[in-house]
Structure 1
Amino acid sequence: MELPRIIARRADGGWMLEMEGLAPAYVRRLSEAAECGRALMKAADAPGADQGVQLKVDLGKELNRRIKASTQATVDAHKAQLQAAAELRRTASALKSQDMTGRDIAHILGVSPQRVSQLLTQPATGG
């Protein structure tokens, strides 16, 4: 069963909540929206409200697009960082297999000797 949906839109310094089959409700803070909407839905015996609700924030086409793009950019950056870290571990391991010291590896990679030690003790997975 899909959870009931609440759509929150900015209104008068707060948020107007729209819920199917119920009159709109106003909350001052977005952090109050899900609980307020769920309580109203439970009071109206809306199906599924006792399991929780979905809160969707609608700020208009342009801001919604920008939020989606910035959130995706953050996810992509995190994935790239994980891949870069895995590649750094693999490279440190390859340098170590050439009988290089930790200090030499640190100098080559531009990291501290302590970081080289961490890289060499972590599994070279990912990416």
Structure 2
Amino acid sequence: MGEPRVLEATATREGKWWNIAIPELDQVTATKKSSEVQEYANSLAAAVLDVPEAEVDVQVVYALPESVEADWKAAREETRKAKELTIAAAGHTKTVVHTLREDGYSGRDIAKMLGLTFQRVSQLLNS
């Protein structure tokens, strides 16, 4: 047995049903439970290809309703930007701590001045 065959499926909620489409096989199945989507997708692919389920790897993508898709993309982009800003802020904080230390301030002085814990200042000085 070689590598499993990789297929893509899309799960779309319609009413109480999750429709699972595997375009490459031109097949669709459905279930009422989102917890069964992956199982149904694997089972469908294996049945159509007439192979054991271990020989297929169906990658399921859950389609978002159009009413929330743009908001979700915006939220992901905002999260990415926030992570970048957090990394930048950490770098600036480290620079300030090291500059104050070079200017002769003690770790405890720096902690008080910046509102950080002494332990955090120590970590920044040792990194």
When the two structures are superposed, what TM-score results if normalisation uses the length of structure 2?
A: 0.77
Q: How many residues align?
A: 118
Task: State the 1:51 CA deviation.
Answer: 5.3
Question: In 2 relative to 1, CA 76–117 (structure 1 residues): closer, same or farther, beyond 3 Å?
Answer: same
Q: What's the counterpart of residue 118 of structure 2?
A: 113
In the aligned structure 1, how far is the partner of 2:105 from the partner of 2:17? 61
Kept after mapping to 2: 8 A contact 1:17/1:27: no
Per-residue CA deviations over 1:4-38 (Å, capped at 9, x if unaligned) read: 22111113334221222113322402x43233212
Question: In 2 relative to 1, CA 80–32 (structure 1 residues): closer, same or farther, beyond 3 Å?
Answer: farther
Misfit runs of 4+, over 3 Å:
none
Aligned residues: percent identity? Answer: 28
Kept after mapping to 2: 8 A contact 1:8/1:58: yes
Runs (5+) with no aligned partner, structure 2: none
Letter in 1 for 2:42: R
**Is 1:104 aligned to 2:109, yes or no?**
yes
Letter in 2 for 1:107: K
Q: What's the counterpart of residue 73 of structure 1?
A: 78
Aligned-residue CA RMSD (Å): 2.3
Q: What pairs with 1:3-82 in structure 2 (closer than 5 Å)? A: 3-20=6-23, 21-29=26-34, 31-45=35-49, 50=55, 52-82=57-87
Which of 1 and 2 has greater Rg? 2
